[in-house]
Amino acid sequence: MAFVHFYIFLISFSLTYSCDVFVGIRCTCYDSNEIRCTMSKFAPLVFSSTSVSTTRKFHAIDLKIETDEEIELGNNYFLILNQLLPDVAKKSVSMTFRFQNFESFHARAGSFANLFQGITSTTKRLTIELHPVKAKTITFDQNAFDNLHVNELSMYADSLSSPFESIFNNTNITHLNIEGAIVAHEPSLLRDFTGHIQSLKITRMIDSVNSEEFPPFPVQSYTIEAHKMRTLDTLSFANYTQLTGLNIIQPDVSITPKILDGLERVSNLKSISFDAERIADGALKHVKHIQTLILGSYLKILDVESLNSLKDLQQLDVRYVQFSTLQGTTSCSLADFINRRRMLGLTVYLPDDNPDCDCILVFLNNMVDDGSQLVKCQSTNNDRCLFSSCPIVSEYFTRKQKEDLEDQQKLNTPSVITPSSPAIVPFEPPSVDFNDNAIPEYPDEKIDEDERTTTTQSPIEGMLYDDTDFLTKPVDHQPVTVTSLLFDPEETHNEFSTPLMKRIHPDSKQYQSSKYLTVSWIPFAIIASCLCLTLVISIISYIIYHKRRIATFKLVPQTAPII
């Protein structure tokens, strides 16, 4: 045991070690080309004389500034960090700044200027988290991000003080995510605004969603994510040609036609997410023109009649929907809708896993996806699915059972010619109740397992960024504000996922449960091979022993005459 501990210690020692970079700052370097530093006394960033900055380059820089002082960032405060990045990076490069417990925060003009300048990388990502002791102590001056060209800038703050057009002036940002903060808009500055922001997402916990709380910022595409909303003033958004996305997360009301009335006038609205318990009759008729619909895990009741009115729907994401807790008619008509519309080219994202072996999901998995759940759940012979209250599902499984029986009869005839060798029997997955045709089904399952791995990834194919930080993200990465917990920067570029819903269902958990069935045959295989080995050894030793006996027996008459 001590040896194991020592070994683990050795491994961890080789992966992380403290390294000297800046004067007066504690840093840890990781073999994964990551560096994390904690500054406890606010001071300018200066490389130490023995700094690794000349010899090592990093893909991810994480700087935590934990101090109760008044923080004042001057022009190009962080510029020195560019020297820690590789000139050309095949992977993404990122910088994360976390300010905690400060009395006040003031970012002067150009304090985040020119970051990543001269660096070639597929993705450049900047994250800034501000966790003040008191509310409204954060100030960003004009052109704080001057000449910043990044694929993603994510900010967590309760306020930013200056207008949007002033702070983000002279930038080029593909995805800008602002979470928690009320951001002001100043139309008079628009004339001098030289920022290029492709998509903006603003996430807030808010009672009333209207154009005052979410002003018409000068961006190409704009997504509003409102948590705990009560009212939606759709008319105030009538002239928002840039508004392409609306995420209504855990609203304090049901989604009724009255709530959504007027959204038909938001002409460029393309994507809607609802994480609500009930989407009432006819509500979706006000968003007929949307192309993407994402449903969340809170959903219980959905009027499918109004789902049918979504004529332009191209993507339906039900990955987070808990099919087992959906109202029966809802899940049945949802299955019917998906089954019909998939023929017309609807792309459907289903949950990665089905731990309860929900029959409707097994059916959909077979229709839309790889059908791997059919084997895993063995639902063909499962009464639950044969007698499902959803006709489309019960009919499907009845038909499937009939086909399988016919297949089996065909297979059983030649099975006399190829008798199952006893050596193969232990390889049969014992926890799955195979219907005595174990040999043909076993390779199927193996193929399915491989396919499943690829299809699980398919919904996030649009992701541009690698997830290296995602894995190493520390717990305290989550911001203080309540809404902050609902936000995941790694996902924001993915229009089809609402980060909150993703967090509630971590994929890793689901993976394990599904692996169980396929992994469980391994011990049996080991036992079988041990038995075989023992048998072979005993046969050999028997033969040797027997030969010896014959030999000694023959020797006796030879030796006898000598005596």
Ligand X SMILES: *[C@@H]1O[C@H](CO)[C@@H](O)[C@H](O)[C@H]1NC(C)=O
Binding residues for ligand X, rule: CB under 6 A, are 142-143, 149, 165-166, 169-170, 172, 189, 192-194, 196, 236, 238-239
Give the CA distances from residue 466 to residues 59, 99, 173, 291, 546, in Å, rounded to whole numbers and listed in that order. Answer: 11, 25, 18, 27, 65
Q: Minimum distance between the CB of residue 383 and ligand X, rounded to whole angstroms?
A: 57
292 is written with which tokens?
């993407």
Which residue, among 176, 170, 173, 174, has the nearest Cα to 156 in the 3D structure? 176
DSSP E strands in 74-230: the ranges are 88-89, 93-100, 104-107, 120-121, 124-131, 138-140, 148-156, 159-163, 171-179, 182-184, 196-205, 208-209, 221-227
Question: Which token pair is 529?
Answer: 């091979």
236 vs 366, which CB is nearer to ligand X?
Answer: 236
Least distance in angstroms from the C-beta of 167 to ligand X? 9
Q: Which is nearer to ligand X, 20 or 233 (CB)?
A: 233
Q: Residue 469 Cβ, how far from ligand X at the closest point, in Å?
A: 21
Quote the least distance from Cβ 81 to ligand X, whole Å.
20
CB of 170 to ligand X, least distance (A): 4
Q: Is 437 exposed, middle or buried (0-12, 13-18, 19+ CB in 10 A)?
A: middle
Q: To the nearest whole angstrom, how small is the minimum distance from the Cβ of residue 221 to ligand X?
A: 15
Nearer to ligand X, 367 or 464 (CB): 464
Our CB check for ligand X shows the closer of 218 and 479 to be: 218
CA distances to 362, 386, 392, 395 from 389, rounded to whole Å, are: 15, 9, 9, 10
Helices (H) and strands (E) in the chain, counts: 14, 26
Decide the pairing of beta strands 60-66 and 93-100.
parallel
Closer to ligand X by Cβ: residue 236 or 329: 236
> Is 115 in a helix, a strand, or coil?
coil
The minimum distance between CB 76 and ligand X, in angstroms, equals 15
Query: Exposed e or buried b for every residue in 523-546, given b needs 16+ CB within 10 A?
Result: eeeeebeeeeeeeeeeeeeeeeee
The owner of tokens 């985040």 is: 112
State which residue, 170 or 242, has the beta carbon closest to ligand X. Answer: 170
Could you give the 3-state DSSP secondary structure of residue 13? Answer: helix
We find the least distance from the C-beta atom of residue 114 to ligand X, in angstroms, to be 13
Tokens 């072996």, located at residue = 357
Question: Residue 354: what residue type?
Answer: N
C-beta of 258: minimal distance to ligand X in Å? Answer: 19
Of 77 and 145, CB closest to ligand X? 145
Pick between residue 149 and residue 505 the one whose CB is nearest to ligand X: 149
Nearer to ligand X, 194 or 538 (CB): 194
Q: Helix 391-412 to helix 359-368 angle, to the nearest 10 degrees?
A: 70
- Shorter beta-carbon distance to ligand X: residue 21 or 89: 89
Write down the H helix ranges in 144-301. 164-167, 257-260
Q: Least separation, in Å, of the C-beta of 430 and ligand X?
A: 55
**Are 98 and 133 in contact, with CB atoms under 8 Å apart?**
no
The distance of closest approach from Cβ of residue 282 to ligand X in the complex, given in angstroms and rounded to an integer, is: 24
Q: Which CB, 35 or 197, lies closer to ligand X?
A: 197
CA distance to 150, 262, 442, 456, per residue, from 246 (Å): 24, 14, 46, 26
Contact at 8 Å (CB) between 29 and 53?
no
The least CB distance from residue 455 to ligand X, in Å, is 31
Contact 167, 145 (CB under 8 A): yes
Closest to ligand X by CB, 51 vs 151, is: 151
